[in-house]
Amino acid sequence: MRRLIQWSYGLMAGLIVTFAASSAFPAMAEDAPADQGQTEVRSGWIDENLGPGVARWVDENGNISDQPGTQGQTPEEGEEAGAEGESQGAQEGQEAQDSQEQVPAGRQIDPAKPMVALTFDDGPYAPVGNQIMDCLALYGGKATFFVVGSRVSAYQAELQRMVAEGHEIGNHTYDHKYITRLSGEQIQSQVNRCSDAVQEATGVRPTLFRPPGGYISSASLAHVQAPAIMWSIDTLDWKTRNAGKTVNAVMSRVRDGDIVLMHELYSQSGAAALEIIPRLVEAGYQLVTVSEMAAARGGAVSGGVYSQFYP
């Protein structure tokens, strides 16, 4: 009788262990990372709308990078990867840091030919900024990037690439503050801190200023001590988040001397730029920086406000 009882207890214990094990394995499967199956994106970026330093790359197999801002890396490469925007290489950025003399020689702007200045606000943001610069490189164009100073440290390699490839970096304040709401001292702080951050990262100090939101007054401008650059075409890309509408906003009314406003933070704006750039070039426009266009069309002075440079 005692053996029968012991055998019964043994059988019950075995059943309990088997049941617990079979329950545990499904739970472990459910606890496994679900990232790989939560996106249909392939060979593209996700989470870029969440802000700088967050976007992750999805390869052609649906694998999501562990390191934000890195593209197509193996785990071993990921361990050695730097911060967002380092994909173009630290060496390239270091070569650009000392001066702006790295701009390719022989660039000529013809004042008699149509020109357009594409400008991108609110960066730096490498997933979009590098995409735009890749396209500009294919078509021999340059652009002006009005950057927010507080974001510079996370994207130094991207800014160094801007300088190395002859693009222009403008000042968009340090914290994207509306300067009409600030005191003179606060305005100077916002402008100087942004310029200091850019100069520390690239060796080049911005000479142009764009007021966040387009809010500006003669009183506030007196504390900026730089030309204020506005725009003649507002794509409203930040609002529509639609590449087709952004393309149409430019191509439906572009003219010689326009300054086009876009934003670097949105993947849809990057996609729009990839279509706008070749179409403008095919239409005969030179894609120039704001300073290049200003120099060709009479110049820009500190304290002045410029929305276009029509011939």
Q: Identify the CA nearest to 96 among candidates 162, 195, 29, 172.
A: 162
Q: Identify the CA nearest to 53 among candidates 43, 67, 65, 34.
A: 67
Q: Identify the CA nearest to 225 among candidates 206, 202, 204, 203.
A: 206
**Kind of pairing between the strands at 56-58 and 44-46:** antiparallel
Neighbouring CB atoms inside 10 A of 17's CB total: 10
> Is 223 among the residues known to form the active site?
no
Identified catalytic residue from 122, 167, 258, 263: 263
Which tokens is 301 given?
């002075």
Identified catalytic residue from 35, 66, 121, 175: 121
The CA distances from residue 80 to 75, 92, 93, in Å, are: 9, 17, 17
Do residues 231 and 260 lie in contact, with contact meaning Cβ atoms separated by under 8 Å?
Answer: yes
Which tokens is 244 given?
């087709």
Which tokens is 57 given?
């790359």
Cite the DSSP H helix spans in 83-205.
Answer: 90-97, 126-139, 156-164, 184-202
> Is 167 among the residues known to form the active site?
no
Q: Identify the CA nearest to 147 among candidates 91, 75, 201.
A: 201
Annotated active-site positions, please?
121, 263
